[in-house]
A and B are shown apart, each in its own frame.
Chain A
Amino acid sequence: MSAILEVRDLHTQFNTLDGVVRAVDGVSFDVARGETLGIVGESGCGKSVTALSILRLIPPETGRIAQGSIRFEGNELTALSEEAMKSLRGHRISMIFQEPMTSLNPVLTVGTQIAENVVRHMGVPWSAARERAREMLDLVRIADAKRRLDEYPHQLSGGMRQRVMIAMALSCDPQVLIADEPTTALDVTIQAQILDLMIELKEKTGTAIVLITHDLGVVAETTERVVVMYAGRKVEEAPVEALFENPLHPYTRGLMRAIPRLDVEADAAGTRPRLQEIPGLVPILTRPIVGCAFAARCELATDRCRATPPPFVDAGGGHIVACWEVKL
């Protein structure tokens, strides 16, 4: 599998009144052609900022990519002009967000918004772009696509709006689709529909998906490979089966024990097993983190963990983990 997107040693920082926030602090990963990569972690771990960095959407007034490289199809994105980035976004790489209402224009019809993107990137006449928009709505299984083209975002349900976003994102056959919490705002039954749709379309179009989420269930059911992030750093990376069967990083293990499980056999009526807590809080990102970012909350932590950041240990089969104390 050849990598279509290579992120190396990415550092993204923001200036705040409290100091410089190291939101992404040296993250590297590859996305292979046509694969689904999950990036998982809790709030503030840097997963969304990683996505915004790839698309160079970090607001320049407050933030910047301080260091590192992002290569897409051989081009260094960090060095590209804004004009060149604009022709890339929504075309070669596109993105969908958690709340589609905030990324759809409320005063334009759905058809116009999709067609606009197609005209801009494919240089086709308006009529052909409209036709493409209709095709895309069919593809994301919006019933009665021809009529829906002339509707405004507020006339659609939340699930339909997310379908429209997906239609728009895929309208120019991107190589990579970045989906940031695409189903978090949706109801359970609608979430299942959208996840199924994304996987089906990925298989149909060959677009690689980077799925960013806090939800381990969503990761388990939709991705092939997973990057686990904590406090701006990657702590573990593995094929999805390996990660869930044999999580190696103490943080990943903690996360898995902390979630209430739906799939575990029913316990005897009335007994509620305790959830494992991860004690403490995430570190404050304005202060430089010496050593392992998780050390303060980790029961295995030693003086070495607190002093020196752990290197990645290769557990084989594409499973790597950043931990001094991991036993293989």
Chain B
Amino acid sequence: MSAAPNIPVLEVDGLVKHFPILGGLLQRRVGAVRAVDGVSFSIAKSETLGLVGESGCGKSTIGKTVLKLIEPTAGRILLGGEDVTKLKPGAMWPHRQRIQTIFQDPYSSMNPRLPAGTIVGEPLENYGITRGAETDERVARLFERVGLRPDAMRKYAHEFSGGQRQRLGIAKALSVNPDLIVADEPVSALDVSVQAQVLNLLIDLQEEYGLAYLFISHDLAVMRHISHRIAVMYLGRIVELATKRTLFTQPLHPYTEALLSAATAPDPKRRRKRKRIVQGDVPSPAKPPPGCHFHTRCPYAMAECKVTAPPLIEVAPGHHVACLRRPVGGDPGPLSVPG
């Protein structure tokens, strides 16, 4: 199942997801957590789009909404050009073959009483792609492809190490030949040496099968390694979207700059070079600040930033940024602190 080459594998347009806050004796709706607040992006075949941001920025909610595990409040989701936003679970079912997922902790998504081979083979039987012995053969090939020994098909999930379990999760996601894999923090729980194995595997599989990834992570170094384009999120909104190279060499949004400057690097000489650390905590997504959500922590904020929410605009080809101080054709140099 492959979409035409010029149609994006996934297109998200103006996605909004609000979770109600219930309160009082009658559990009436008293407010909403604006987890995702108008987000648009697309992912092409063989492309990795990274979603990066701190806890509560809405990156995982986007993943779940795209998978239709939760219903969006507003906006559209297009898989290979087909609008699936309003599809009921039954009608969504055939589309699920095209979009698979890998979790941070694959263990919680695996039935502890089923052997690994059955877990990986289940989607194949579910979609009637293969049956019986044919499934076993296909699963054995999948095991080999992700670096597991085929005789491990008889083992149970708890008998695998963390890294092997993640390979199992990848094999399961791959089994139905999806176009897109949503990977939510797939290597965060792994040790560095194992993390490298899994990242390399994901890249190899992408090149082999033309997979698209929506890769969700808080780790900038991992992001930089695996993504082609990166969207930086803050409190439910994308604040900057650019190619990896542009984002890391010429970040324009003050929040991106803060994230890059806060990230640690394995280089003792760098500690003296660290520029500015943004102060304060991330505000609650139930009560985001008005105007630009970042203005409460932004050293460059002007009076205007407190009232006007900046739109995400393309300031240079492929480089989108949502900051009032970064207009189209503006100077990409460092911002000055308003005096």
Contact = CB atoms under 8 A, between A and B. Distances in A.
Interface string A250-288: 000011101111110011111010111110010000000
Interface string A141-167: 000000000000000010110000000
Contacts of B192: 42, 214, 216, 255, 258-259
Nearest to B224: A262
B193 A258 contact: yes
Contacts of A159: 281
Of the four ranges (under 10, 10 to 19, 20 to 34, 35 or more), the interface on chain B belongs to 35 or more
A268 B228 CA distance: 11
A204 B203 CA distance: 47
Contact of A188 (B54, B222, B245): B54
Contact of B225 (A190, A218, A275): A275
6 contacts: A187-B55, A192-B261, A193-B279, A262-B248, A272-B226, A275-B196
Contacts of A269: 243-245
Interface string A193-227: 10110000000000000000011111111100000
A217 B266 CA distance: 4
Interchain residue pairs A-B with the least CB separation, the first 5: A217-B264, A260-B225, A192-B262, A278-B193, A187-B54
A220 B267 contact: yes
B197 interface: yes
A325 interface: no
Contacts, number: 133
Query: Which of B163, B192, B243, B259 gathers the greatest number of chain A CB atoms within 10 Å?
Result: B192
Given A196-B277, A217-B265, 11 more contacts: A188-B218, A193-B279, A217-B264, A217-B266, A254-B193, A255-B192, A256-B266, A261-B266, A275-B199, A277-B196, A278-B193
A110 to B, nearest CB: 16
A152 B46 CA distance: 49
Contacts of B258: 189
Nearest to A240: B268
A191 interface: yes
A188 B265 contact: no
A244 interface: yes
B113 interface: no
Contacts of A259: 192, 196, 221, 266
B7 interface: no
B262 A221 contact: no
Query: Which of A160, A190, A255 gathers the greatest number of chain B CB atoms within 10 Å?
Result: A190
Given A42-B191, A193-B277, A255-B192, A244 B266 contact: yes
Interface in B101-137: none
A137 B248 CA distance: 36
Nearest to A257: B196
A43 interface: yes
B243 A215 contact: no
A217 B163 CA distance: 22
Contacts of B261: 192
Contacts of A192: 261-264, 274, 277
A262 B251 CA distance: 14
A190 to B, nearest CB: 7
B262 A188 contact: yes
Interface string B184-202: 0000000111011101100
Nearest to A213: B264
B245 A187 contact: no
A272 B262 contact: no
Query: Which of B220, B244, B265 gathers the greatest number of chain A CB atoms within 10 Å?
Result: B265
A314 interface: no
B278 interface: yes
B271 interface: yes
Contacts of B224: 260, 262
A157 B197 CA distance: 34
Interface string B215-233: 0001111101110100000
Contacts of B219: 260
B270 to A, nearest CB: 6
B249 interface: yes
Contact of B266 (A157, A220, A275): A220
